[in-house]
Amino acid sequence: MPVNNSRLEGLYRLTCQERLEAVAQKTGLSESEKQLLTGGGLPLETANHMIENVVGLFPLPFAIASNFIINHREYLIPMVVEEPSIVAAASFMAKLTRDSGGFITSYSGPLMIAQIHVINVGDPYGARIALLENKDHFLEEANQLDRTLVSMGGGAQDIEVRVIEDSSLGPIVALHLIVDVRDAMGANAVNTMAERLAAHVEKITGGIVVLRILSNLADRRLARARVSVPPKALETAEFSGEFVAEGIVRAYRIADADPYRATTHNKGIMNGIDPIVVATGNDWRAIEAGAHAYAARSGRYRSLTTWERDHQGNLVGTLELPMAVGIVGGATKTHPLAQLSLKILGVETAAELAQIIVAVGLAQNMAALRVLSTEGVQRGHMELHARNIVIQAGIPAEARDWVVDAMVQARDVRVDRAKELFSRWQARTE
């Protein structure tokens, strides 16, 4: 069911069970669905049918990012990730954007590319034209393979043919079959079509088909997000909103100019994207590959986001990248928690899911640049690191906050220091 309000004030102060109850109330989770979240969610037998040589399960934290408004609708965002600060940062940035309308997103459509690569072609440019002449036959043959997809308005839509001259194999002819995969990620559908067409491509070109598989550079399947924030929303106790806004723009420009910085900058974007992709059972490796290839499409690796100031002085951020995610098939359909994630999100199409994901990626980037342009990353990370250290040191729950505060104030976060401080805490409480 749609979430009426994604604000969950003080969520971080609640116990895990209290958080679960708050989310369940907002999203209409049943008792059995709540048990899925607390009991691991994936039966070993199901896992055994998903991949090979299964010997067990590896749980990761399942969290909820709150406060999001995307296209004027409220969302609670499921995120599966092990790194601290990600969920809190995304939630806080979403909170800052609420008064200015949240995130506006769009989607270019669910088009995937199946590639067929041909070598040993004597007349590659002649072969290119001959392949284009046979477009209708290729589309008809491909669409015979998936009548269900075609009946839903999808299927093979078009072909493109490229000649790749700069290759150690000599000229390569690459046929792209453009397929509308609707609400699926689409890998199986497009791979099957590519394999079926290979023999006909060889016959027309006189060459040898060596590869027939989808491309994860899904640049026909772009998700876009935009956010506009007045400087006042960005101000902190130490820094004005103007200072923060200018710092974010400056940090973006450095990332766009320096591939070494852009790599870390874009990793921060993926900090927000990957956890939702994982939570919904989608292929996060494909999303990562497509995003980084898209960042280098100009011939130089650059920032995936842009940050600038509009004529009113508002900070405006945008993000555009390939987003090949689905809500049917694969692990999305197999994994119980993937289905539960889709229920929490309340999404009905893959297009909606793609747009949610890119909005969270933009929020995550804004959070990172805001910190970098003001206090730096270590101040916030130190407390999170300290909380991990006290657990490693075996500090009892009742003493953890005191030990964490003491380590952070001294800027000395170590296991042996945590144990030493715990001894002091014991002495104070005896």
Decide if 195 is catalytic: no
Q: Evaluate whether 334 touches 245 at the Cβ level (below 8 Å).
A: no
Q: Evaluate whether 198 touches 141 at the Cβ level (below 8 Å).
A: no
The token pair at 393 is 């040191």
C-alpha span between 63 and 57 (Å, rounded): 18
Residue of 267, 401, 405, 416 marked catalytic: 267
C-alpha span between 56 and 59 (Å, rounded): 10
Q: Evaluate whether 44 touches 99 at the Cβ level (below 8 Å).
A: no
- Picking from 359, 334, 349, 340, the residue whose alpha carbon sits closest to that of residue 71 is 359
Decide if 283 is catalytic: yes
Residue of 200, 333, 343, 381 marked catalytic: 381
Decide if 267 is catalytic: yes
C-alpha span between 396 and 418 (Å, rounded): 11
C-alpha span between 71 and 55 (Å, rounded): 43
Q: Evaluate whether 131 touches 201 at the Cβ level (below 8 Å).
A: yes
- Picking from 189, 190, 197, 182, the residue whose alpha carbon sits closest to that of residue 134 is 197
H or E element at residue 373: none
C-alpha span between 405 and 382 (Å, rounded): 10
- Picking from 328, 218, 226, 338, the residue whose alpha carbon sits closest to that of residue 276 is 338
Listed in sequence order, the DSSP H helices in 227-322 are 241-257, 259-279, 284-295
Decide if 238 is catalytic: no
- Picking from 283, 286, 357, the residue whose alpha carbon sits closest to that of residue 320 is 357
C-alpha span between 307 and 253 (Å, rounded): 8
Residue of 83, 133, 165, 416 marked catalytic: 83
C-alpha span between 50 and 148 (Å, rounded): 24
Q: Evaluate whether 231 touches 184 at the Cβ level (below 8 Å).
A: no
Terminal Cα-to-Cα distance of the chain (whole angstroms): 52
C-alpha span between 262 and 246 (Å, rounded): 18
Residue of 274, 283, 320, 352 marked catalytic: 283
In the DSSP assignment, the letter for residue 219 is: T
So which residues are the catalytic ones? 83, 267, 283, 381
